[in-house]
Structure 1
Amino acid sequence: MSDLATEQSERSQRPEQRPEQPQPSERSTQTGPGDTGFARLAMVTIDCADPVALASFYGELLGWETRHADEHFAILDNPEGGSPLGFGRVSGYRPEPWTEPDGSKHFHLDFYVDDLEEATAKALALGATEPSYQHGRTLRVLVDPAGHPFGLAPLE
Structure 2
Amino acid sequence: MTNTSLAPIAGAEVKNAAFWGHDGKALASFYATALGWTLTQTYGDSAAMISDGTTSYVFYTAEDFQAPNWPEDELVLHLDLGFDDVQAAEQNLLAAGATKPDHQPGGSHWTVLLDPSGQPFCISSNDAW
- For normalisation by structure 2, the TM-score amounts to 0.83
Pick aligned residue for 2:51 from 77, 80, 100? 77
- Are positions 1:105 and 2:75 aligned together? yes
1:64 equivalent in structure 2: 37
1:150 equivalent in structure 2: 121
Report how far residue 103 of structure 1 moved: 3.0
Report how far residue 148 of structure 1 moved: 1.1
The amino acid that maps onto 1:128 is: A
Q: Which has the higher contact order (CA 8 A, sep 6+)?
A: 2
Higher helix share: 1
Moved over 2 A (4+): 37-42
The amino acid that maps onto 2:123 is: L
**What is the SS of the residue equivalent to 2:80?**
strand
- Percent of aligned positions with the same letter in both sequences? 30
**Structure 1 spans left out of the alignment, 5+ residues:** 1-34
**Structure 2 spans left out of the alignment, 5+ residues:** 1-6
CA distance in 2, matches of 1:110, 1:37: 26
**What is the SS of the residue equivalent to 1:122?**
helix
CA distance in 1, matches of 2:51, 2:20: 17
- For normalisation by structure 1, the TM-score amounts to 0.70
**What is the SS of the residue equivalent to 1:88?**
strand
Higher strand share: 2
The amino acid that maps onto 2:48 is: A
How many residue pairs match? The answer is 118
| Per-residue deviation, residues 75-134 of structure 1 (Å, max 9, x unmatched) | 00113x2x2011012121111111x3x432211111111111111111000000000001
| Greater Rg over alpha carbons, structure | 1
CA distance in 1, matches of 2:64, 2:73: 20
